[in-house]
Amino acid sequence: MMKHQKALVMAGILGLLSIFACVTINIYFPAEEVKSVAGEIVNDIRGQDQNNSAPPPSDDQSSLFRRTLVAFFSSNAWAQDATKVSNPTIRSLKEKMKSRYATMKPHYAKGVLKEGSDGYVALGNTGGLGLKEKRDIGALVDAENSDRKALYLEVAKAMKIDPSQVNKIAEIFAAEWKKTVR
């Protein structure tokens, strides 16, 4: 009888181990790709395109030959497709956020608004503001954060990232938002 009980206990333990082994799932998170997408989107919204800083091409033949070789042999088009994330919802959110940023920019400069490390806008020093100004800025922050949340979800969907990873996406965007505040 004792042998039979030990066998049952061992079978139970092995059964539990196999269940827990099946539950452990390693979810890949494409951090570098998200960082690239975040940089493009934030620069587009904030109007700070750093990728177009190349000098204009010269007209000499060696330069033309070099550009032709680079265009022919480089995989630049593939790299752009890999990091370019866009759909009608993302484009709409970017346009709303771009127009809102013009209103928000002076508040960043005064320290009334700040970028949180969670990817969302937070109130800073509102001590010198009246009630109406605080209400208006609060509404601005709410609208911006609502659009950011929708943007992060859409980026996750477009990149086929599990929606439970949206907070990681937001944190990566946070670093990009902070780079553009002056």
What digits encode the pLDDT tens for the residues 71-124?
444 444 433 444 578 899 999 999 999 999 999 999 999 999 999 999 999 999
Domain boundaries, given as residue ranges, for the chain? 33-48+58-180
Q: What is the mean pLDDT of the chain?
A: 81
* pLDDT tens digits for range 118-136: 999 999 999 889 999 999 9
Cα dihedral value 86, 92, 93, 94, nearest 10: 70
Q: How many residues in total does the chain contain?
A: 182
pLDDT bucket at 27, cuts 50 / 70 / 90: low
Fill in the amino acid letter for 53: S
Query: CA nearest 37: which of 137, 141, 170?
Result: 170
- DSSP, collapsed to helix, strand or coil, labels residue 114 as strand
